[in-house]
A = this chain, B = another copy of it.
Amino acid sequence: MPKRAQKHDSTKHAILDVAERMAREGGYHDVSFRRIADDVGIKSASVFHHFANKEQLGAAMARRYSDRFMETIGDPRDPGTTGEEKLARYIKAFSHALKVDRQMCLCGMLGAEIDSLPKDVANEARRFFNLNIDWLETALTRTGGKTGKKTDIHGKALLVMSALDGALIISRATGDTSHFDQVAEQVSRLV
């Protein structure tokens, strides 16, 4: 039977949850071990038992976010759904961040900060964007019952992701979630 270091890993999860919330509100530089510890209900020294340093915590946080995001949007090759339905699902993931989480997309935030991030954190942010572009290119390959041109699809993927990330920022900055909806509506009509 497999050995396991801990039963539930609940503290590590809780740390990542709090760190993610902080980063999605104020960015990587606004994440603090003390405040994480306070929120989780432990001491900051205990956080270092789970993550060697802030860079590794940041990288784990970004990696977990990316993995969860990719799982949410599903398989871009799923033959059971159309390109339009896949795009709708992608838009829904951003909408969820805005309206349910009421936070930025973590990697959108990290992307904006990219030049100031420790190497491992920056790499995880980069990975998120590359995964998203690939996913969108695959999902948008066939829309309207037709197979599109590769360069067009690449451009559309970039536009979709740019518009949604930007719409998150604008909606949150203006405090008007309908701004996101109006962008999303146009994005979904793009394909």
Q: Is A108 an interface residue (CB 8 A)?
A: yes
Stretch at the interface among A2-10, A63-71, A85-93, A179-187: A179-187
Asked if A26 contacts B170 (CB within 8 A), the reply is no
For the complex, would chain A's binding face be called helix, strand, loop or mixed by DSSP majority? helix
Residues of B within 8 A of A109 (CB): 112-113
Q: Is A130 an interface residue (CB 8 A)?
A: yes
Residues of B within 8 A of A78 (CB): none
Residue of B whose beta carbon sits closest to that of A102: B115
Q: Is A126 an interface residue (CB 8 A)?
A: yes
Tier of interface size on chain A: 35 or more
Stretch at the interface among A12-20, A36-44, A49-57, A159-167: A159-167
Q: Which of B113, B126, B185 contacts A174 (CB 8 A)?
A: B126
Asked if B155 contacts A165 (CB within 8 A), the reply is no
Asked if B162 contacts A130 (CB within 8 A), the reply is no
Residues of B within 8 A of A163 (CB): 159, 162-163, 166
Q: Measured between alpha carbons, how far is A161 from B27 in the docked complex, in Å?
A: 22
Q: Measured between alpha carbons, how far is A173 from B112 in the docked complex, in Å?
A: 7
Q: Is A129 an interface residue (CB 8 A)?
A: yes
Residues 86-110 of A, flagged 1 when their CB comes within 8 A of B and 0 if not, give 0000000000000000011001111
Q: Measured between alpha carbons, how far is A183 from B169 in the docked complex, in Å?
A: 17
Asked if A25 contacts B116 (CB within 8 A), the reply is yes
> Can you add 12 more A-B contacts, CB < 8 Å, to A111-B170, A162-B163?
A25-B115, A27-B29, A107-B173, A109-B113, A115-B172, A126-B174, A156-B186, A158-B167, A158-B182, A162-B167, A162-B169, A166-B167
